[in-house]
Structure 1
Amino acid sequence: MMKNEGPSMFISSLTQITCFAIGSLANFPAVRSFAIFAAVSLTFLFIFQITAVVGILSLDYKRYIKSRFDIFCCVQKKIINDDEPLHSEIPYESVTQKLMEPYANFLLKWRVKVFVVIIFLLFLCVCVVLIPQIEVGLDQNLALPEDSYVYKYLNAVNNLLPLGPPVFFVLKSGLNFSNPEHQNVICGGQLCNDDSLTMQIFLAVQQEEITYMRRISNSWLDDFFDWASTPNVCCKYNTTDGGFCPSISSEPECDYCTIARSVYANGLRPAEDAFDRYIPFFLQDAPSNTCNKGGLASYYSNLNYVLDSEGRATVHDSNFMAYHSSLKTSHDYISAVKYAYEISENITAAIQSRTGLDVEVFAYSVFYVYFSQYLTVWYDTFISLLYCLIGAFVINLIATGFNILTTLAMMFTVVMVVVDMMGIMYIWNIQLNAVSCTNLIVAIGITVEYCTHLAYAYNTSQKPPSERVEDAIIKVGATIITGITFTNIPIIVLAFSYTQLIEIFFFRMLFSIVVLGFLHGFIFFPVLLSYINNLKYKI
């Protein structure tokens, strides 16, 4: 048994292990983890098959030779008539083995081969057209049963909330906020630049259907200008120690500040020294009826600043908040992330152009960490698949004795299965994400397993060249059906799962992969081998 099946088992296992090992280089953390576990598990599975399984089968064969029962192996059958031996000299053939010869004869007729090639290539072209239309993402509702209270809660949130999550545009350190020129690249009031940070966020909100941004919060810098511009209203200090007093304080030691005005902007802004002196006061002052611009409630945690020995503040990092519109689908979330990043890049470019400083602005919201991966999902998916295909090609090229034509035929079949699977993803409403990318890598492994046994039987066949493909089908066709296809049929039970995530990504995808692998490995690949065989020996 191992003499006939061992080499193809070794090639198939080594190819799949290599595919998954290379797949561990993927950028998707989920794909990387799965690939590592799959490679390790397949390694142990192969070791188990060539050691323990072979040993168990050899013991079972000895039991069979000695005419012992299956379960009660200590009990030996009695031979009633020596003229009718228990062991027939004719090898046992299953139903699938008996069907292989007529199947091979039928499949390799020239009319059937032409029909097979046309149908498979036609479907391949259709799937190529459908691939760009695959939706990217993973809807959070798919992970929940439809009768779950969390599922109902998420639907209520999507349908009722007018606003989405807040988004923060974080401005890294590097600007001197007391410098009027640096203030102009941030603020949104008089004399501020048209492409300032606040103005760009405001303009993005005006295009809500594109940017998925609905409302902008106030700017701490503009509110500080307003807070400091009105004398004898907001700013108070302690006359005894020069410290801060709330604007609503009526303590006798608290008095109104005298804030020096900047000659810039006709005195609408505080002078540079006054800015550094009173920005901590602004951030400690709570809004009130008399002074509603106090920054304690809105901005206290939005700024990082350092006080020197004289109590003057140097502002380093800060953020400016806006709100996304109501986000319902994965497409909405991904688009929101995409345009927020685009806006932050434009703001960064404007600030660097105006100031000549290497200052960066980046966008952040609570869901970005989950959805930012989908901005490069197509590239990451194709790179992962390419790595796996290269690994499978190299292993099979070496295993076939550098038979380039057979290896290329196998790789073409594998690529066809992956492309067809992606076409079915669109037809069956399966989104492209880390889970489906993992399943596409599995598709490579399963298709290689279908093709490897047939390719090895073809390369080692002792028949004349014109009969090698037929001989390969007869030898390993039954093994392909019973050993690979039938063992994966139980996937069907996943169709009845209460969780849509299981039903979509594990039933629909894995069942489709098994069907496509069987059709391509058992119908298209033998036909392709026959054409290559004819081409090879005619030349």
Structure 2
Amino acid sequence: SFGDISSEAMFQDFDKIFIGALLMLCYVVFGLSRISLFEFRIIPAGAGLLCIGLACLSASGICSALGISYGPVHTSLPFLLMGIGVDDMFVIMACHYERCGDKLGNVLPIHMGLVLQHAGVSITVTSFTDIVASTVGGTTIMPTLESFCYYAAAGVFMIFVYQLTFFVPFLILDEKRRIKCDGSNPNISQFHQRNRKQKHSTKKMIHFIYSKVVLSSFGKIFFLTITIFLAGFCIRGNIYLKQKFDPKWFLPSNSYVMKFLKAQEKWYSDSGQDAFIFFGRLNYSTELSNLDAFTKKLRNQTDIIKDVDTWYEVFRDYLNSYYGRDIPNEVLTEDQFNYYLGKFMFSPRGGKYQQNFRFAHALQCGSPAPPITVSSLSFKFKLFNGPEEALPAMNLVKKLVRDSNIDSGDGFKTVWSKVFANWVTDEIIHHELYRNLFFAVICVMLTTFFLILNIQSCFWIFLCVTLTLIDVCGMMYYWGMTVDNVSCVALVLSVGLCVDYATHVGQAFLKCKGTRRERVLKTVESIGSAVMKGGISTLLSLSVLFLSDTYIFSSFFKIFLLVVTLGLFHGIVFLPIVFSLIGPEPQVSDIELDIPQSKPSENLVGTNILTPNEMTIG
């Protein structure tokens, strides 16, 4: 029942994917378009969202073909990919509008080549850093995190492929449509004048905010102080952040299984946690004394064990009472042991312990017991208040089993409990989280360096990512969240997401010329709006998860709300301030080409863009 309900829960909120896609379509059309029929870009917007859908299907197909399992956490993948894919679209469109007045952009194919020369580098850096972060997360020993990270890496890669091979061609087709519409419009000059004013008004607003507020002396001191204070406040949260995992969180609150578990917890709260110690093909006749010593040690752990019910103790008393034996001081032969065990298995006192044995062949009444392949001893753990009590108890019993000197036969011995799935997760998840975050950040920074080749810029991007992760983990504590499978997945993937914002700004800053302040203003004017729109689009795609009562979706919403908000703050506020003070020198990489100017009559053919003066469309 638990498996059925949790499996159904994976797909019960799929309707929210369609709602999120519809909201995203409206937002993307609004973000890519201008206020005119000529610039209403429904075709590129639809093609861009179709790229994301194709990427989800392609990633699922590739990973399924490779035998990578699909779990409950994977249902949140489409929302994550929507945010990443739309971010790439906004960057391409921002560069398209920025270069519309370029003297090299009068021929459409060459114009798009110039767009991809700049936007392509930016989305390549961010896409490959996302892929690296996800792939590094897949090296974990946690199956859920490993599987999800591989799906995410495949999804990001396919988005990168589809955006360049599917979205860009549709953008070119839409640009041809716009050119034909422009050519047939008698008021085209007035149209372009309005668009120039719209473009300039947006830039003026951004310029005013940054020049008069963010980059002012007071603004720099204020925002740097906020950054330092926030980091210190969240470091405290990191110290107190705890790990806790409970599979019941994956169940809908109104399911019958959850209601049963709540009733069981209410009326049988002191029943304890069932556990078993398994032994293999031992020489049981000679191990009775060791079994006796072990069960006594187990019973003595009254601080962690509620009850012990073993077949050995009842079997010992049975032999000593009815057959006059002196167990464990007396050693039985193998035939004697099998004879007495056969009697015991069908006695009133021993019948219930048949479930604790697996024999080489069927057990028969009146015959000696067959050779034992597996036996088990039953006991119950007490109920513990969190992993800090449960983990030492689990490890203590494991140590008792290891030190039991029960080594005859195949020597197999182990302790198992259903609750160990939770406890083992709690034991490794904290270490795995920080390990994966560390390696993901390092690998992402190395990838960023090799793609943009500027040490100083990479360092400041690294600092932005680190501060964002510190703040997110700290705020998780203040929001009442814990480290578990879901939050671990979200945090590892957040490395690739928060590095996007800082990388776009860092890459654009290196391409600008002038003083540091002038370059920062040019950067935020050209790419700041696209980065902000990309962050908002991610929040919009995840906003529908706020209405879900599924633990996975609600956790993803909380964490990515923090990631996007704090990532944008460090990417478009903190980083520009740092660059204005100690930013790196510019990298000059523009290619000067000798391109013949088109005649005005040629601009109405679908393959050409309008002349540079006409192309200032905002």
Question: Which bin holds the TM-score, normalised by the shorter protein?
Answer: 0.7 to 0.9
Q: What does residue 366 of structure 1 align with?
A: 418
Q: What does residue 166 of structure 1 align with?
A: 274
Distance 1:263 1:158 in 2: 40
Q: What does residue 70 of structure 2 align with?
A: none
Distance 1:485 1:59 in 2: 27
Does the CA-based 8 Å contact 2:243-2:483 persist in structure 1? yes
Q: What does residue 58 of structure 1 align with?
A: 172
**Which of 151, 165, 185 is equivalent to 2:290?**
185
**Which of 440, 448, 456 is equivalent to 2:507?**
456
Superposed CA offset, 1:116-152 (max 9, x none) = 2222122212222222322322334433444444332
Superposed CA offset, 1:312-365 (max 9, x none) = 8665643210123357x7x36x8446513321213322427xx89994642112
SS at match of 2:307: strand
Does the CA-based 8 Å contact 1:137-1:431 persist in structure 2? yes
SS at match of 1:185: helix
Q: What does residue 346 of structure 2 align with?
A: 285
Q: What does residue 307 of structure 2 align with?
A: 215
Q: CA deviation at 1:500?
A: 4.2
The share of aligned pairs that are identical, in percent, is 21
Aligned positions of 1:64-143 closer than 5 A:
64-67=178-181, 77-79=184-186, 84=189, 86-88=191-193, 90=196, 92-93=198-199, 96-105=202-211, 106-143=213-250
Residue 379 of structure 2 is aligned to residue 322 of structure 1: yes
Q: What does residue 298 of structure 1 align with?
A: 353
Distance 1:36 1:457 in 2: 30
SS at match of 2:513: coil
Does the CA-based 8 Å contact 2:281-2:409 persist in structure 1? no
Q: CA deviation at 1:421?
A: 0.8
SS at match of 2:467: helix
Residue 456 of structure 2 is aligned to residue 351 of structure 1: no
**Which of 137, 154, 160 is equivalent to 1:23?**
137
Distance 1:521 1:278 in 2: 77
Which letter does structure 1 place at the counterpart of 2:319? A
Q: CA deviation at 1:53?
A: 1.4
Q: What does residue 54 of structure 2 align with?
A: none
Distance 2:473 2:127 in 1: 24
Distance 2:185 2:518 in 1: 45
Between 1:452-461 and 1:471-480, the stretch displaced more is: 471-480
Distance 1:167 1:335 in 2: 16
Q: CA deviation at 1:281?
A: 2.1
Q: CA deviation at 1:97?
A: 3.3
Q: What does residue 198 of structure 1 align with?
A: 295
Q: CA deviation at 1:378?
A: 0.9
Distance 2:390 2:357 in 1: 22
Distance 2:346 2:368 in 1: 16
User: For residues 410 and 271 of structure 1, do their structure 2 counterparts lie closer, same or farther at Cα, with a shift above 3 Å needed?
Assistant: same
Aligned positions of 1:145-160 closer than 5 A:
145-160=252-267
User: For residues 435 and 263 of structure 1, do their structure 2 counterparts lie closer, same or farther at Cα, with a shift above 3 Å needed?
Assistant: closer
SS at match of 2:483: coil
Which letter does structure 1 place at the counterpart of 2:278? V
Distance 1:485 1:276 in 2: 73
User: For residues 303 and 337 of structure 1, do their structure 2 counterparts lie closer, same or farther at Cα, with a shift above 3 Å needed?
Assistant: farther
Which letter does structure 1 place at the counterpart of 2:438? L
Q: What does residue 12 of structure 1 align with?
A: 126
Which letter does structure 1 place at the counterpart of 2:276? F
User: For residues 366 and 77 of structure 1, do their structure 2 counterparts lie closer, same or farther at Cα, with a shift above 3 Å needed?
Assistant: same
Superposed CA offset, 1:153-206 (max 9, x none) = 2211111113134210123445x4333xx433221xxxxxxxx321222122x2
Residue 336 of structure 2 is aligned to residue 229 of structure 1: no
Q: What does residue 612 of structure 2 align with?
A: none
Does the CA-based 8 Å contact 1:25-1:32 persist in structure 2? yes
Q: What does residue 566 of structure 2 align with?
A: 516
User: For residues 465 and 203 of structure 1, do their structure 2 counterparts lie closer, same or farther at Cα, with a shift above 3 Å needed?
Assistant: same
User: For residues 67 and 372 of structure 1, do their structure 2 counterparts lie closer, same or farther at Cα, with a shift above 3 Å needed?
Assistant: same
Distance 2:358 2:179 in 1: 84
Which letter does structure 1 place at the counterpart of 2:297? Q
Q: CA deviation at 1:532?
A: 2.9
User: For residues 282 and 136 of structure 1, do their structure 2 counterparts lie closer, same or farther at Cα, with a shift above 3 Å needed?
Assistant: farther
Distance 1:117 1:93 in 2: 30
Does the CA-based 8 Å contact 1:20-1:441 persist in structure 2? yes
Residue 444 of structure 2 is aligned to residue 392 of structure 1: yes
Q: What does residue 530 of structure 1 align with?
A: 580
Distance 1:158 1:94 in 2: 64
Unaligned runs of 5+ in 1: 69-75, 188-195, 236-258, 288-292
Question: RMSD of aligned C-alpha atoms?
Answer: 3.1
Tell me which protein shows more helix as a share of its residues.
Answer: 2
User: For residues 384 and 347 of structure 1, do their structure 2 counterparts lie closer, same or farther at Cα, with a shift above 3 Å needed?
Assistant: same
Does the CA-based 8 Å contact 2:234-2:474 persist in structure 1? yes
Q: CA deviation at 1:280?
A: 3.2
Q: CA deviation at 1:380?
A: 0.8
Q: CA deviation at 1:435?
A: 0.9
Does the CA-based 8 Å contact 1:439-1:510 persist in structure 2? yes
**Which of 312, 318, 339 is equivalent to 2:393?**
339
Residue 546 of structure 2 is aligned to residue 495 of structure 1: yes
Between 1:368-377 and 1:22-31, the stretch displaced more is: 368-377
User: For residues 314 and 357 of structure 1, do their structure 2 counterparts lie closer, same or farther at Cα, with a shift above 3 Å needed?
Assistant: closer
SS at match of 2:316: helix
Unaligned runs of 5+ in 2: 1-95, 97-114, 587-618
Distance 1:52 1:534 in 2: 35
Does the CA-based 8 Å contact 1:20-1:35 persist in structure 2? yes
Structure exhibiting the larger radius of gyration computed from Cα positions: 1
